[in-house]
Amino acid sequence: MPASPDPRDRLIVALDVHTVAEAEALVDRIGDAATFYKIGYRLAYEGGLALVPRLAAAGLKVFLDLKLHDIGNTVEDGVRALADLGPALITVHAYPQTMRAAVRARGTTGPKILAVTVLTSYDDADAAEAGYALPVAELVARRAAQAAEIGIDGIVCSAAEAAGVRRAIGSDRLIVTPGIRPAGSAAGDQKRVMTPGEAMAAGIDHVVVGRPILQAADPRAMAQAIVAEMR
């Protein structure tokens, strides 16, 4: 599906903070410079799930990045329960049973389901250690193709994988990419970074940005600069 016309929706700000109060203060500070926020393990396990309906009620979109993976029945129950909170996006690991269960649970009106193909911290040696015979690049391509066949709405992948993933999933599904750094900002522990402008040129629908905004002296101005670069 084509990304929504409001260019602000292309930026997803990662709320990688420790408390719900900190997250709310950050959202207030950024104001209308951003419309989309990601809640991951850290904040979710600190009470951050309660923030999802609050942000949704304020007209903001939420990417719930909990990377679900379990037996199908449990994934289905989990996606249904999370969908009730009103997120726009939910992540699962790209295992066929897990993806089918998530697609069943979201039905036609639920949140979009994104699949994580292979965690980007894995290289070929890590995949072999975990028992996989395929190199990571092939595993990513296979899982992306399976995700599309199953009806997953999009893929989370690194900028470096985006072109191959696009070939595997076609033009109608989303690609969401972390590891984005505005020109001139610190890469941190991200190894392969792209600028927001390069990400748009690479056909990426949404960029996830955490520390460059969270650690900026003026998070609102940084969010505005990133959106301006993607226009």
Say if residue 138 is exposed, middle or buried (CB neighbours under 10 Å; 0-12, 13-18, 19+). Answer: middle
Task: Report CA-CA distances (Å) from 137 to 98, 119, 161, 163, 165.
Answer: 21, 11, 8, 12, 10
Q: Smallest gap, in angstroms, from Cβ of residue 42 to ligand C5P?
A: 8
* Active site annotation includes 61: no
Does position 80 interact with ligand C5P (CB under 6 A)? The reply is no
Which range binds ligand C5P by CB under 6 A, 17-25, 91-99, 100-108, 206-214? Answer: 206-214
Does position 110 interact with ligand C5P (CB under 6 A)? The reply is no
Given the residues 38, 67, 112, 191, the one annotated as active site: 67
Helix (H, G, I), strand (E, B) or coil at 141: helix
Does position 14 interact with ligand C5P (CB under 6 A)? The reply is yes
Which two structure tokens, joined as six digits, stand for 110? Answer: 């639920």
Does position 207 interact with ligand C5P (CB under 6 A)? The reply is no
Which range binds ligand C5P by CB under 6 A, 74-82, 128-136, 138-146, 204-212? Answer: 204-212
Rounded Cα gap, residues 91 and 116, in angstroms: 7
Measured from the CB atom, the residue of 35 and 117 that comes closer to ligand C5P is 117
Does position 191 interact with ligand C5P (CB under 6 A)? The reply is no
Does position 196 interact with ligand C5P (CB under 6 A)? The reply is no
Does position 190 interact with ligand C5P (CB under 6 A)? The reply is yes
Q: What is the 3-state secondary structure (H, E, C) of 4-72?
A: CCCHHHHEEEECCCCCHHHHHHHHHHHHHHCCEEEECHHHHCCCHHHHHHHHHHCCCEEEEEEEECCCH
Does position 222 interact with ligand C5P (CB under 6 A)? The reply is no
Phi, psi angle pair for 94, to nearest 5°: -85, 55
**Closest chain position to ligand C5P (CB):** 210
Does position 185 interact with ligand C5P (CB under 6 A)? The reply is no
Active site residues: 67
